[in-house]
A and B are shown apart, each in its own frame.
Chain A
Amino acid sequence: MSDTKKKWFSLNLNNTKKRTSSSCGCGKTEGGCGSHNTQNPIKKPKDGYQQVFDVKMDRRSAFKQLTASLAIGAGAVSTSCSMIAGEETKEKAQIDWEEQFKGNYKLMTDQEKNDTVNRLVRSYQLRTGKSINMSSKNAEEDVLFGYAFNISKCQGYMDCVTACVEENNQDRNSQMQYIRIHEMKDGQGFNFNEADDNYYHEVPAEGHFYMGTQCFHCDNPPCVEVCPVQATWREEDGLVVIDYDWCVGCRYCMAACPYDGRRFNWSTPEVPEEEVNKNQHYLGNRMRKKGVMEKCTFCVQRSRSGQNPACVEACPTGARIFGNLLDPDSTIRWVLENKKVFRLKEDLGTEPKFWYFMD
């Protein structure tokens, strides 16, 4: 969302973002004439994004007061022990109430984020008797995630798809998958119309090549613009995320996405208890409910703790590369600087952070 600095190199096709105009007589924005500040101070971008943030904070705290009487004792929720059934029911009801009327995660303070995560963890414990680990870790400074896909290497094994489903607790009934692997015929170029993304034969098939798609975490995401309630947004580290509890399920974002990156829970998602990945993040793989959107988050629960997303780790061919675009020594930067990379539907001005390349 920061307009003032371009954080990584881009092909710059149809970039709709405005650049700050130079106020200097030399006509340049950086250096050269001597009257510029050579040291570009890295200041936190104070843009419309954060102005909204500040305004909404007041509203949020005012709202909190409304439910204050019910919020009493919320702090004790996670520490309480050995209680009778009546108390548990009461506690559950209270958690449900607070969860129903909480604010938008995007606008929460760290304390509020922590509170809701604690409530969700406790709620899961009360419901299933199992404990989960949920994080509300924010984006780190100087991190911007990017992804590269090596078309020459992918053999269509779909291990990434399986790993993704297991990692992200996707609904098993509807077989929801964030990743699609398109099997294309050699000699026809990238012809998606003729490609098959639902194959059940031995791979790699003779005369075919494979190309994976998923959410591209656009830098100018159309899905974010259209959401009527700001339930989806771009985080500082470039991840496009959804607050599942704030989403109203209008599916406008789904219509706005040119990359088929979004999925909707048409019915209540189900994951067998023993298959639930208990290492969760609020914005990532925590359990969803029916009637809300979800999508790939580059496995925010993994990527923000220094791991690769599950698809990258699962890929047996090394076709998938993930890393920090702001780190000059990262593999992703090496790929972008040394390979002939391209992105899909660049003419739409969405600026995906997902590049394709060939050996």
Chain B
Amino acid sequence: MKTMKVFKSLIVDSLNTITHGTKKYHLWMAFLTFGMLVGMYCYSIQLEEGLSATGMTDSVSWGLYISNFTFLVGVAAAAVMLVMPTYVLKDIDFKQAVLIGEGLAVAALIMCLAFVIADMGGPSVLWHMLPGIGVFNFPNSMLTWDVIALNGYLIINITIPLYILFRHYQNKEAKPRVYLPGALISVFWAIGIHLVTAFLYQGLQAKPFWNNALLGPRFLASAFAAGPALIILVLAIIRSHTTFKIPDKTIKKIALVVTVAAQINLIMLISELFKEFYAPTHHSESAYYLFFGLHGKDALMPWIWTAIPLNILATILLTFHKLRNNLKVLYFACFILFIAIWIEKGFGLIIPGFIPGSYGKIAEYTPTGIEIGVTLGIWAMGAFIFTILARTAINIETGVLRYKR
């Protein structure tokens, strides 16, 4: 019963924390709320008109939503790169970052689920997918694996930080024997969610651009580059705006993770490009479309030719210790790397899979305003959730928020 009382007090206190702040904080939250409202308005139009309100067609049947979903699964999985050193390898330097990383994972996962639901033709019958009431086509459909993986990971990433913060809130130490098993599972689970998401595409013999053994490993490499890169940027903002102490050492260690992942990612990219262009077959047409355009259709060319140089530049900047250890350069490198991977693994991966079509037809895809509105709304929602989580966590960790008997 006492636990319930403390928990109630935690909720009241954190509500109090998140509704009070500086003017800047209120402006930021108002901005995000506005973004979410715009997204909801756009979604209501989509619900009314059907998915014809988006730019998707029978030819390109997945677009911006699924692209963002794919990318965000990677961001969520990246939390493992902080969880493993902190909880499993007992590396103190990561300790300050890990709760932020897990908060980011929770926000990213909720965004993933929102993107999937936004992409559904019949959100009102989603209960058909609930095991028990509906029919869950497990293990045949990779989508059901993904549902399990994402929701499981979400639960793990909510419960571990909640337990630790709950203990700290009461001025008690979190017991490793309680959270360590969960942390261990989450390490494997993180790799699982990303591999399963890759298998979603990799398993389709109909789409040669995806049906490629490198897709899964490449997903992991790019995720472990883009995710921690985002965490570095977030930590930089938190450092400058709050009293939360994050030593340079932590950021530099995470930068090392980003660097190695970005290098591996680049090697895999070269391997992929070599395979597609050294001895091009009928199956290389999608890659041709992506990089050079086909029959005068080249909508993705500006995007991919932005992503590739950014990717290479970021990897070079990160590789040299001198440059990487300069925080200004590091933040810049992380930012361009994040953008590059968002393009490459978002619509740089999803859309060429559909072009050319099954019988060689080239129908291009351009997202509509509605689609972009919903997408921005979901990103705003993610940022909103993350801000709330991070603010509460930071206040507990810095000792501002404590249970008063």
Contacts and interface: CB of A to CB of B under 8 A. Distances in A.
Given A229-B136, A247-B121, A292-B121, A222 B206 contact: yes
Contact of A248 (B128, B204, B353): B128
Of B137, B353, B356, which is in contact with the most chain A CB atoms at under 10 Å from its CB? B137
Given A229-B129, A255-B353, A263-B58, A104 B135 contact: yes
A252 interface: yes
A328 B77 CA distance: 56
A259 B140 CA distance: 21
Interface stretch (A127-135, A265-273, A315-323): A265-273
Interface in B50-106: 50-52, 56-58, 61-62
A248 B120 contact: yes
A40 B358 CA distance: 41
B36 to A, nearest CB: 23
Interface string A253-264: 011111110011
B121 A290 contact: yes
B360 A195 contact: yes
Query: Number of contact residues on A: which range applies?
Result: 35 or more
A255 B357 CA distance: 10
B380 to A, nearest CB: 24
Given A197-B359, A257-B358, A104 B61 contact: no
B137 A227 contact: yes
Nearest to B210: A255
Given A227-B137, A227-B141, A248-B120, A291 B50 contact: yes
A292 B125 CA distance: 11
Given A229-B134, A249-B120, A348 B205 contact: yes
Nearest to A229: B128
Interface in A178-216: 180, 182, 192-195, 197, 213
A292 B359 contact: no
Given A228-B141, A229-B128, A246-B128, A254 B121 contact: no
B119 interface: yes
Q: Main SS of the interface on chain B?
A: loop
B116 to A, nearest CB: 8
A178 B293 CA distance: 28
Contacts of B61: 251, 254-255, 264
Of B128, B133, B140, B207, which is in contact with the most chain A CB atoms at under 10 Å from its CB? B128
B122 interface: yes
B276 to A, nearest CB: 17
B358 A260 contact: yes
Contact of A192 (B142, B206, B359): B359
A276 interface: no
B141 to A, nearest CB: 5
A247 to B, nearest CB: 7
Contacts of B357: 260
A48 to B, nearest CB: 9
B122 A247 contact: yes
B50 A228 contact: no
A249 B204 contact: no
B170 interface: no
Interface string A58-70: 0100010000000
Contacts of B52: 174, 266-267
Contacts of A33: none
B296 interface: no
Contact of B51 (A194, A226, A245, A264): A264
A255 B206 contact: yes
B132 A258 contact: no
Contacts of A268: 50
B49 A267 contact: yes
Contacts of B51: 249, 264, 266-267, 290-291
Interface in B109-139: 116, 119-122, 124-126, 128-129, 132-137
A267 B141 CA distance: 26
Of B133, B147, B359, which is in contact with the most chain A CB atoms at under 10 Å from its CB? B359
Contacts of A291: 50-51, 120-122
Contacts of A264: 51, 58, 61, 121
A228 B120 contact: no
Interface in B286-310: none
B119 A250 contact: yes
B136 A292 contact: no
Of A193, A231, A263, A350, which is in contact with the most chain B CB atoms at under 10 Å from its CB? A193
A251 to B, nearest CB: 5
Contacts of B207: 255
Smallest CB-CB A-B distances: 8 pairs: A249-B121, A291-B121, A258-B206, A193-B360, A266-B52, A260-B358, A267-B52, A290-B50
13 contacts: A104-B135, A192-B359, A222-B204, A222-B206, A229-B134, A247-B121, A248-B121, A249-B120, A255-B61, A258-B205, A260-B358, A266-B57, A291-B122
Given A193-B356, A228-B136, A291-B120, 20 more contacts: A104-B128, A107-B135, A192-B359, A197-B359, A197-B361, A222-B204, A226-B142, A228-B129, A229-B135, A246-B135, A247-B125, A251-B62, A252-B141, A254-B58, A257-B358, A258-B206, A263-B58, A264-B51, A291-B51, A292-B121
